[in-house]
Amino acid sequence: MNPAKFVPRSAAGHGRFAPSPSGDLHLGNLRTALLAWLFARSTGRGFVLRVEDLDRARSGSEEHQLADLAAIGLDWDGDVVRQSERLPRYETAIARLHDAGSTYECFCTRREIQQAASAPHAPQGAYPGTCRDLTNSERAALRATGRAPALRLRATVNELTITDELHGRYTGVVDDFVLRRGDLTPAYNLAVVVDDAEQKIDQVVRGDDLLPSTPRQVYLAHTLGLPVPAYVHVPLALNSQGQRLAKRDGPVTLADHLAAGRTTSDVVAIIAASLQLNGTTPAELLDRFDPAQLPRTPWVVTQ
């Protein structure tokens, strides 16, 4: 692993936290939010919130999430942005790609993709290009069956190497990934690239489970002529069995801890200790924050 170089600087850009409103935030989510805030504020950046609500959203989740972030002492700049209110921007980006000949319709079902991707020649996790070179008559025949096509990017590379400030150089797959699903919903990889550029996000701090998606996003940003942010993929929180922490793992939300008699300061202190920091407020942690000293291994949350 290459050592990261963290140089505090005054920046016109922003960091961000972008939760999906699918339920209450657990300790791992709060930890990532706190890290994103610390990285942004320690480098003179603004900090914004974006609700990524293009997929399933649970009623009341956004309000609970924002309340929890404020309760532990995080602040943000400007209004909260919601992806569901930005659909025309994604369509504009798709139109640019279409006009450049960089898209095609895909009629594959998920099962068909999984079966095709199991072939020995297909890189793990990559779309095998089944629909890439369909003729007009073949597309018309598939459309006549009632299949609603997704729209894919016509990539010109198979992989891309990016640099992450914790992981160093990372090479990952770039395939013909989905830009818009068959139900006309913009896909995550497209929306996040468009949003980050428009919001002047030049530092992305998020869980390292998203590191494999980053080469695709960087490639798409280059294709659209958009700036590429600095990436910091931080270790996840895991349960005692070494699995990604989830709300089913017991008392892992802020509300759970408050119900057990802890305070928000106690919860911040627990998260801080997992980062080898001492403090009970984000402001206290900011004074002591040294990214080079962050743990590089997952945080195992024990009850």
And the tokens for 302? 């024990």
Q: Apex CA 18: angle with CA 167 and CA 255, to 5°?
A: 105
Q: Would you say 188 is a known binding-site residue? A: yes
The residue annotated as part of the active site, out of 96, 247, 262, 288, is 247
And the tokens for 109? 């079902």
Cβ neighbours of 110 (radius 10 Å) = 7
Per the annotation, the verdict on 200 as an active-site residue is no
C-alpha to C-alpha distance for 194 and 7, rounded to whole angstroms? 26
C-alpha to C-alpha distance for 281 and 297, rounded to whole angstroms? 23
Distances (CA, A) of 215 to 33, 50, 153, 302: 22, 21, 14, 33
What is the Cα 92 distance to its own chain's centre?
Answer: 21
Task: Please enumerate in sequence order all residues whose Cβ is within 8 A of that of 295, keeping only pairs 6 or more positions apart, or say none.
Answer: 235, 274, 275, 276
Q: Would you say 180 is a known binding-site residue? A: no
Q: Would you say 247 is a known binding-site residue? A: yes
Query: How do 103-106 and 150-153 pair as beta strands?
Result: antiparallel
Q: State whether residue 187 is helix, strand or coil.
A: coil
Cβ neighbours of 123 (radius 10 Å) = 14
**Residue pair 222/228 in contact by the 8 Å Cβ criterion:** yes
Q: Would you say 17 is a known binding-site residue? A: yes
Residues shown for the chain = 303
Q: Would you say 18 is a known binding-site residue? A: yes
**Residue pair 203/44 in contact by the 8 Å Cβ criterion:** no
Q: Would you say 170 is a known binding-site residue? A: no
C-alpha to C-alpha distance for 31 and 260, rounded to whole angstroms? 19
Q: Would you say 16 is a known binding-site residue? A: yes
And the tokens for 266? 């106690």
Q: Would you say 235 is a known binding-site residue? A: no
Q: Would you say 106 is a known binding-site residue? A: yes
Residue type, 12: A
Q: Which residues are documented as binding site for L-glutamate?
A: 16-20, 52, 188, 206
Catalytic residue IDs:
247
Residues making up the annotated binding site are: 16-20, 52, 106, 108, 127, 131, 188, 206, 247
Going by the annotation, the residues of the binding site for Zn(2+) are 106, 108, 127, 131
